[in-house]
Amino acid sequence: MTKFIDEQIDDSTWEKFRKRAEDLQKNLETLREISDEEKENIFKERAVKLSLAQGKKEDDKDLIHIISFYIGGEFYGIEVEFLQEIYEVNNITRIPCTPAVLAGLINHRGSVLTIIDLKILFNLKDEKASKKKEFDNKRKKPEENSSNKILILDCLKSKVGIIIDRFESLLELPRKKIKPVPLFFLEKNKIVKSEVQVNDHPLLIIDVEELLKDKRLFVNEEV
C-alpha cells in the first residue's frame, strides 16, 4: 500500500512541483531583464510608501482629541482624556454658604458629585436666561423642566461636573495647531491657556487641572 501511494505522488504531485519550478524560473529571468533604472524606481516607490506609512503613524501621536461645547455663547473644549461621561439632570441641589461658582450637588449613580458653573467662573452671560427673556417678550411659554447638560470630568483623582449650554462635537486636531492664548487673556483667567481655530472660529481649551486647583472653587470655612 505504501508503494502504491508513492507511485501516485510520483505521477501527479511531482508533476505540479516541476511546473511550479518552471514558472519560478521564468519569473526570475523576467526580473533579471529589468534595468537598473527600473529597479531603482521600484525601490524608491517602496521607500516613499514606507515613509508615508511611518509619517501617518507619527501624525497619530501628534493629534489631540477635544470635546467641544458652548457656554454662554462662547466656544470651549476639553481634552477627551479627562471626560468620563456626558450626563443630564433636572435638579441640582444648592448648598448654602458656598461660592456661587459651585452650582450645587447631584446624585450621580449613587455618589454625590459637585457641579461647577463655568458661566460664573468665566463671567459669561446666561444663555438660558436670555432665551427665557426672549420667550417672555414674545409672550410664549418657556420650556419647563429643562434638564442641565453636565460634562463629568475625572482628573487629579477627583470627579466634578461642569454645566454646559450645548454639546457641539468631538474633534481630532493636530497638536501643532494649538496656540497659547494672548497674554492679557491668560492673566485674566489661567484656566484657559490655549486655543485652536476650528472652521475660522477660536475654540478655547480649558485646562482641567488648573480648573480643579482654582481658589474660587474652595469653600470659605469662616462663613
pLDDT digits (tens, 9 = 90+) for 142-172: 344 468 899 999 998 889 999 999 999 999 9
CA distances from 49 to 52, 91, 124 (A): 5, 56, 50
Q: Which amino acid does the sequence have at 127?
A: E
Backbone angles phi, psi at 214, to 5 degrees: -65, 130
For the chain, the structural domain boundaries read 2-61, 63-217
**Residue pair 170/66 in contact by the 8 Å Cβ criterion:** yes
Model confidence pTM above 0.75: no
pLDDT confidence tier of residue 133, bands split at 50, 70 and 90: very low
Task: Please give the class, per CATH, of domain 63-217.
Answer: mainly beta
**Residue pair 214/191 in contact by the 8 Å Cβ criterion:** yes
CA distances from 165 to 4, 6, 37, 60, 118 (A): 84, 81, 63, 31, 10
Q: 70-109: b or e for each residue (b if 16 or more CB lie within 10 Å)?
A: ebbebbbbbbeebbeeebebeebeeeeebbeebbbbbebe
How far is 219 from 174, CA to CA, in rounded Å?
38
Per-residue pLDDT tens for 164-216? 999 999 999 999 999 998 887 777 778 899 999 998 899 999 999 999 988 88
What SS3 class is residue 74? strand
